Amino acid sequence: MKYCSPSEQANACRAFALERNNHLFEEAQALNLAAYEMLEGKQLDAQVFDHYQAMRRKADVKFEEAIEHLRLLNEDFAPMPMSANNSQALRERLRAGA
């Protein structure tokens, strides 16, 4: 079993949380793009516009969730000086030792 210092564990946790946060932003962006594509792809009527507005609300909620997640992450963890490649290697080391 490998030993990881508390700071290494915290850095790995933060890196994982940042990956999750990035995923939240990607989901929000995908919803946002899908909503705008609805306006371009179909003849605009009340039903299509209602569906567009619902998709935009979902995207806005997802963006707010991602922003709040990032805010909490920055409160809980100190800034991480290591690169993404180093954080990936650290996570792999932690998994191998577990």
Question: Where are the domains positioned within the chain?
Answer: 6-97
**pLDDT value of residue 84:** 58
Distance, in Å, from the CA atom of 93 to the CA atom of 2, rounded to the nearest integer, reads 8
Please give the C-alpha separations between residue 14 and each of 36, 64, 72, 75, 94, in angstroms, as whole numbers. 33, 20, 11, 11, 13
pTM: 0.68
* H or E stretch covering 98: none
* 32, pLDDT greater than 50: yes
* 28, pLDDT greater than 80: yes
* 96, pLDDT greater than 80: no
Distance, in Å, from the CA atom of 11 to the CA atom of 77, rounded to the nearest integer, reads 8
